[in-house]
Amino acid sequence: MPKILVIDDELSILETLQMFLEEKGLTVFTADTGKKGLTLFESEHPQVVILDIRLPDSNGLDILKAMMDNNFSSQVIMITAFQDMETTIQAMKRGAFDYIHKPLDINQVEKAVDRATSIIKIDEETPCVECSIDPSNPLVIIGKSEKMRHIFKMMGLVCTSRVNVLLQGDTGTGKELTARVIHTNCGFKEEPFIVFDCSAVVDTLLESELFGHEKGAFTGADQTTKGKIELAGNGTLFLDEIARLPLNIQGKLLGFLQRREYTRVGGTKILRSDCRIVAACNQNLDQMVIKGKFKEDLYYRLKVFTIRLPTLEERLSDIQLLVEHFLNKINMELDTHVTKIQDGVMDRLVNHTWKGNVRELENTIVQSLVGCRGNVLLREDIDKILTQNQSLPAQGLYSFSLSHVEKNHIAKTLAQLDWNKSKTAKLLGITLPTLRSKIKKYNIYPF
């Protein structure tokens, strides 16, 4: 039978809560000072504590901290007549299970107590998660499915040479992580690994960012600057979102791949680099080539060795391994203590449509752990997060959201103007920087 300790200096509250909770079949202890409350807490080990913020001999927040330091498994519900932001934040920060304002609503108290005792029961019945993978290792790819075993074989093969690699896969499938693992397992792993996001730089600066520039090459070029190719040296240059490169930059990149030579913007000196190019793309480059949006010769240069990363939908059997790994990793990073997974959580996760793939799964686990008030990853918390994330699309209302309408309008206008951004911005009545920002925000691509 669960034990509940009520600590409050108002005798009427002590009597009311004791009578109500005992009628529910709970064992209740009461104390009207912080000192008496701590003594009972240490001797009786109650599963749930209802604790007033202001006590005659102590601050309830200090009592809360002492309880959390002594027994993390107890659930402490704070109550107060003083509804200020700071104490609420401090209470939740120090580990309070819930925070209820006076005058007390008995239904609200009952709901909090029932939820706390329910979580404690689930905690007692649920075994701890066991995971043999070191969560502190950032260069680990989780998976034992057939598709992932094939990916690992492909990665092993490509590690033996400097051949260019094309990583194809949807957003969130782990393209950059795959590139990093390939680099780490190569003979030149001590050389630099340089990341360049082709979608994050305005078109006018792309050439300079990739190839560098000489002093005086353009307004503001007050010194000679190395580009990403030069910085990569004899290591790896990871080109993310390669499909976003304009055709003129694609041509210069093709020339570099053919001759391994290039010049900085505004320069004449021929430079060489033996860096390996690992390019990533979440679009269909075959179709982009057909439509003239991507140079065919560059495509064939990049796809010498192609690895297609599967979506999470294609490797559902890996979800349990991924969740267990994310639990350990996030606990370490956020100093949380969730070591158990309630029955039913895995079924809910496996049956969800993961449009954002592994990245969305990890973000979901992060959300659930930040709001978790115990040691167990709960089915209801996961269900709430997933339902919130997909509620509008599931009801067919997503197409009416402001952001979706704006994205579609911008995409259609760009397509009609053959992706002339200056004309598009003018027609839309926004500045060019604002248009670029919205293209990046909504992940709008040319097709």
Domain chopping of the chain, boundaries: 3-125, 146-308, 315-394, 401-442
Q: Flag whether pLDDT at 40 surpasses 50.
A: yes
pLDDT category at 85 given cuts 50, 70, 90 is: confident
Nearest to 345 by CA among 390, 374, 376, 375: 376
Q: Flag whether pLDDT at 422 surpasses 90.
A: no
Q: Report the pLDDT averaged over residues 38-58.
A: 93
Q: Report the pLDDT averaged over residues 222-244.
A: 94
Q: Flag whether pLDDT at 397 surpasses 50.
A: no
**401-442 belongs to CATH 1.10.357:** no
**Fold equal for 3-125 and 146-308:** yes
Q: Report the pLDDT averaged over residues 309-321.
A: 94
Q: What is the pLDDT of residue 434?
A: 87
Average pLDDT across the chain, whole number? 89
Measured distance CA(251)–CA(245) in Å, rounded: 10
- Tell me the pTM: 0.78
Q: What is the pLDDT of residue 170?
A: 94
What architecture is the 3-125 domain classified under in CATH? 3-Layer(aba) Sandwich (3.40)
C-beta of residue 233 within 8 angstroms of C-beta of residue 271 = no
Per-residue pLDDT of 185-229, as tens digits, reads 999 999 999 999 998 888 888 999 999 999 988 888 889 999 999
What architecture is the 315-394 domain classified under in CATH? Orthogonal Bundle (1.10)
For 146-308, CATH number? 3.40.50.300
Q: Flag whether pLDDT at 76 surpasses 90.
A: yes
Buried b (16+ CB within 10 A) or exposed e, 115-152: bbbebbebbeebeebebeeebeeeeebbbebeebeebe
